[in-house]
């Protein structure tokens, strides 16, 4: 519950900060996520999961600070996760284990945008995410993931290009900093930290 309150507080603070910069330009955006995860095992053991295709969509608001600098908070529904496979040996027999982790977040990025030219812009900023749903699927069976943390945060970098009629095309990379799962100790690897890695590509439209 405290995590939910923190998320709402950040959202309210963002809105109050944004209104001080002047008139907002509202819009919407949507696109495709190529999501994955980084496993930090703290040992020489390397875990490399496979990417998962997802989506993002939601409203945006841009507040111009100057002719080439603006602040853009967004509220995005985002499907993220990863695929994991490994070989397990049981009684001298090897079995394939495959699992797909899908996390649905409500993300709040707050991006600082720098206009390089009239059409091209670069952006960077922090992001807070509230986990709405978490599923793990293995062997054709899907279940709720009880180990997932409710709150996520990270950093975004990206670029975009403005097209005619209010459209824009953009790409962004999210570098997660928070552990996706509850802190756990593994007998062979010690503490394992799993963080989001998401490449997003899509379109925006400003009203």
**Domain boundary assignment for the chain:** 2-15+25-206
- ∠ CA(1), CA(132), CA(30), 5° rounding? 135
Residue located via tokens 């990863």: 82
What burial class does residue 73 get, using C-beta atoms within 10 Å of its C-beta: 0-12 exposed, 13-18 middle, 19+ buried? Answer: buried
140/43: higher pLDDT? 140
Q: Give yes or no for residue 149 having a pLDDT over 80.
A: yes
> What pLDDT score was predicted for residue 15?
53
Q: What is the DSSP string of 93-154?
A: EEEEEEEEEEEEEEEEEEEEEEESSSSEEEEEEEEEEEEEEEEEEETTEEEE-SSB-SEEEE
* CB contact set of 48 (below 8 Å; sequence gap of 6+): 39
At 173, list the tokens: 């990379």
Residue 159 has a pLDDT of 98
CATH number for the region 2-15+25-206 comes to: 2.40.160.20
- CA gap 71, 170 in Å, rounded: 16
d(CA 17, CA 109): 14
pTM over 0.75: yes
Q: Kindly report the three-state secondary structure assignment for every residue of 63-79.
A: EECCCCEEEEEECEEEE
**pLDDT band for position 142 (cuts 50, 70, 90):** confident
Question: Is the predicted pLDDT of residue 54 greater than 80, yes or no?
Answer: yes
Vertex 153 angle, CA 1 and 116, to 5°: 140
């Amino acid at each position: 519950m405290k995590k939910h309150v923190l998320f709402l507080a950040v959202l309210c603070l963002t809105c109050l900060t944004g209104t001080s910069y002047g008139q907002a330009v509202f819009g919407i955006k949507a696109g495709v996520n190529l999501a994955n995860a980084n496993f930090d095992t703290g040992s020489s053991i390397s875990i490399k999961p496979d990417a998962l295709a997802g989506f993002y969509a939601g409203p945006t608001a841009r507040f111009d600070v100057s002719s080439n600098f603006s602040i853009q908070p967004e509220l995005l529904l985002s499907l993220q996760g990863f695929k994991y496979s490994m070989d397990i040996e049981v009684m001298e027999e090897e079995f394939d284990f495959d699992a797909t982790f899908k996390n649905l977040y409500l993300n709040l990025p707050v991006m600082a945008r720098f206009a390089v030219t009239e059409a091209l812009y670069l952006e960077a900023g922090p992001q807070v995410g509230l986990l709405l749903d978490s599923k793990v699927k293995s062997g054709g069976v899907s279940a709720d993931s009880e180990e997932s943390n409710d709150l996520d945060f990270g950093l975004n970098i990206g670029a975009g290009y403005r097209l005619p009629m209010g459209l824009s095309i953009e790409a962004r990379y999210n570098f997660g900093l928070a552990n996706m799962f509850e802190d756990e100790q593994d007998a062979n690897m010690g503490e394992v930290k799993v963080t989001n890695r998401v490449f997003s590509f899509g379109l925006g439209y400003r009203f």
